[in-house]
Chains A and B, each alone.
Chain A
C-alpha cells in the first residue's frame, strides 16, 4: 500500500464510518428516483414529439430522463449544502481537537494532506450522487438509454460537478476561517441558504445567471427547451469561482496554516 493511499484509506475509514455514506445515499436515491418517476413531466415531452416518429419519441423520453434527474439533484440543494457543511466542518474539528497536528506531523507534504482531505470529503458525496444518478437513469429508462444524447449526459455531469464544487468550496473556505466545527457548520449553512434565498428574491437580476443553484436551473431550462445558444457563462463562472476558492484554501493550508 502506497503511503498516500494509506493516508486516504485511514481518512476514509475515520470520516466515512457507518452510517455516513448511507445517510448521503438514501436521500440521493429518494430525490433522484422521485424526479425520474415524475410522469406528469414526461407527458409534456411526449406532446412535443412529431406524430409517427417512434425514434423521436424515444430520444425525447431519454432526454427528459437526463433533465429530470438533474432537476431533482438541483432540487436537493439544501441537502447537498448540509452534507458538505457537515463534512467540511470535520476538518475544522480536526484543527481544533489536535488531530490535524497529528496528521501534519506525519511524513507528508501539506499538499498531500490537503488533497487527501479533499478526496475524502469532496468526492464521496459526488461519487454517490453520480452513481445514484447513472444507475437510476438505467433502472428507470431501461433500453431507452440507448437513445440518450451522450453530450447532454456529459453536460449534466458538468452541471452536477459545478453545483457540488460551488457548495464545497464555500464550506471549505468557511471551515478554514472559523477552524471550529459547530461555528463552521452553522456559518456554512447560513451563508449558502442566505445566498440562495437572496438570489431567488432578486427576480430577473443578472446575478441570477452566475450564482448556483439559480444559474444552473436557468441553464437547464434552456437546455431542456433545446435553445440554440446555451448560457455557458452560467456554468463556467461558478465553476471557475469555485476552483479559485479551493485554490485559495490550498495556498492557505499549505503555506499559512499553523496547528
Chain B
C-alpha cells in the first residue's frame, strides 16, 4: 500500500510518547500537591485526558457514521471503526484509573456517580457497536447498520448523563483553570496534548488497518470467482 505519510504518523506517535514522559514527570513531581487530596489527585493528569480522548473518539465516530449515511464511502466506515475502537480503549483505561482514584478518595471503587456511570454506559454501548461489526460479514450491510447504531448510541450520551445526574450525584464539581494552581493547569494541558497525539497516532494506524481489511473483503469474492493468471 502506498504510504507517503508514514514518517508523519510515526513522528506523531513519537511526539506523543515523549510528551507522555514529560507529562508524567510534570504530573508526578513538578505540579504541587493538592490541598485536600495530597498526592492522590495526581491521577487526574492521565485520567481526565483519557476521558477526553474517549469523548473525542465518540464524537469522531458519530461524525463518520453520519458521513457514511449521507454519502457511502469506505473511508468513513473505516474511520468509524477506528474511532470506536481507539475511543473504547482510552475509555476502559480512564475508567479503571477513575476507580483506582475512587478507592482512597471516596472509600469505594465504584460509586453510582453521574460521570462514572454515564461513561460505563457509553463504553458498554460501544462494545455493543464493536460486537455488531464482528457479527456481520457483508461489508456494505455492516457499514450501514453500524452507522445507524453509532448514531443512536451517540445520541444517548446526553440523555444518560441527565438521567443519572438526577438519579444520584457524588462526583467532583468540575474544576476550571481559574480555580486551580496555574502549574496544575499547565501539567494537565501537557498531558492532554500527549494523549491527543498518541490518540491520533493510534487512530491513524487503526484506520489504515480497517481500510486494508475493507480492500481485502471487497477483493475476495472476485478472487474466489475466477482463477488468477498466476494459477493458470
Are A and B bound to each other? Answer: no
Residues of B within 8 A of A (CB): none
